Amino acid sequence: MLVNNIYQISEEPRIYLGIGSRHWESLSGTAENKTYLITHPMWHFSLKSVFMYWKWKLVLKKRNVELILLQNSPSELVISKIAGLSGHFVNQNIHVCEHFFNPVPGVKKIYDAVYIAAAKKYKRIYLAKKIKKLFVITYFWPDIRNEKGEWDLHAFEPTIKHAAFNKDRIDRTEINNILNLAHCGLALSRKEGAMLASMEYQLAGLPIVTTPSIGGRDVLLDPAHTIWVKSDPEKIAAAVDKFVKSPPDPVEIRNRTLANIDFHRKRFYDVIDGIYKKNNSSMETYDEFRKRIWGAANGLEEHNIIQ
């Protein structure tokens, strides 16, 4: 799944899924036919978020486009409903492509933990400083490079100078390969959105060490292979060590994750079905819908309308 893109879910009625709020200005309905834009907020939805979405709701309404929010957690849904914004509880991580991330059998683990994290303060990379064998899959946003033309995560966060990291962008195949070299994945922010990486870990068969957070990532974290710890480097390292010494079965992690995803994908289907019913139309079955929307080798990207 690509962020800051728009995906077409249906032609009649015309339904788009927005991941991020870019390109919304390109959407419009007609006098006869309303267009629907459903979207997952990319960041924790709070009272501060209300103004932006109300602004977009009014702009889109003039174009006969109805904005529907899919909130990543129940508490965020409460806020949107109090604010008078149409919404449903459907976690964004259902759109991570299960075809890109998989366990690789027989690979020797060389890292205690891996952390997919932008070089941003909110990711709190310093909390991983006590983990001895660490790989950080990172990206700089905006793009900042050193005199060699490389990303330098050590300069950004000196407390993890022992950690390995990628010095330029890597594709999803490389990301999956690195994930499979690690015993577990890390989720260390206090606040963000649903954290797509937390789903990538699980689909690749990795258990997770996470700190408490708001924004929705906890919704699809399975207690069977997740350890919640306080935001303390020593406690985080100790939790990682538990997975190093007693690793859970990667295939079991993936299978449980796919089952959890399917539960929320059915919620997504119900939202779309509700729009169809409002328009006196009938939908395909859930199994047909699931295969059409997420079943291609590139998953949701098959329906991307932004080139």
Query: How confident is the model over 171-200, as pLDDT tens digits?
Result: 999 999 999 999 999 999 999 999 999 999
Average pLDDT of the chain is 95
Q: State whether 121 and 250 are in the same domain.
A: yes
CATH of the domain at 154: 3.40.50.2000
pLDDT higher than 70, residue 147:
yes
Q: State whether 137 and 64 are in the same domain.
A: no
Q: State whether 69 and 119 are in the same domain.
A: no
Q: What is the mean pLDDT of residues 201-214?
A: 98
**For residue 41, what pLDDT is reported?**
94
pLDDT higher than 90, residue 221:
yes
Domain of residue 247 covers 113-255
Q: What are phi and psi of 22, to 5 degrees?
A: -80, 155
Distance CA 248, CA 1 (A): 27
Asked if the structure places residue 106 within a domain, the reply is: no
Go through the chain and tell me how many residues it has: 307
Q: State whether 119 and 242 are in the same domain.
A: yes
Q: State whether 135 and 250 are in the same domain.
A: yes
- Using DSSP's 3-state secondary structure scheme, residue 65 falls into strand
Q: State whether 210 and 251 are in the same domain.
A: yes
End-to-end CA distance of the chain: 14
Q: Name the amino acid, one letter, at 146.
A: N
Question: What total of structural domains would you count in the chain?
Answer: 2
Exposure of 88 by Cβ count < 10 A (0-12 exposed, 13-18 middle, 19+ buried)? Answer: middle
215 and 196 Cβ atoms separated by less than 8 Å: no
**For residue 1, what pLDDT is reported?**
65
Pairing of strands 164-165, 65-71: unpaired
Asked if the structure places residue 236 within a domain, the reply is: yes
**For residue 4, what pLDDT is reported?**
80
| DSSP codes of every residue in 279-296 | TT--PPPHHHHHHHHH-S
Asked if the structure places residue 87 within a domain, the reply is: yes
Q: What are phi and psi of 226, to 5 degrees?
A: -130, 135
**For residue 30, what pLDDT is reported?**
84
Distance CA 172, CA 200 (A): 10
Asked if the structure places residue 297 within a domain, the reply is: yes
Q: What is the mean pLDDT of residues 104-112?
A: 96
Q: State whether 33 and 9 are in the same domain.
A: yes
257 and 227 Cβ atoms separated by less than 8 Å: no
pLDDT higher than 90, residue 307:
no
Q: What is the mean pLDDT of residues 78-97?
A: 95
Q: State whether 118 and 76 are in the same domain.
A: no
Q: State whether 87 and 210 are in the same domain.
A: no
Q: What are phi and psi of 217, to 5 degrees?
A: -70, -30
Distance CA 1, CA 209 (A): 24
Query: How confident is the model over 255-295, as pLDDT tens digits?
Result: 999 999 999 999 999 999 999 999 999 999 999 999 999 99
Give the residue carrying structure tokens 């991307």.
Answer: 304
Q: State whether 250 and 263 are in the same domain.
A: no
Q: What are phi and psi of 198, to 5 degrees?
A: -65, -30
Q: State whether 121 and 206 are in the same domain.
A: yes
Q: State whether 187 and 276 are in the same domain.
A: no
Written as six digits, the tokens of 177 are 């390969």
Query: How confident is the model over 3-39, as pLDDT tens digits?
Result: 889 999 999 999 999 988 888 988 988 888 899 999 9
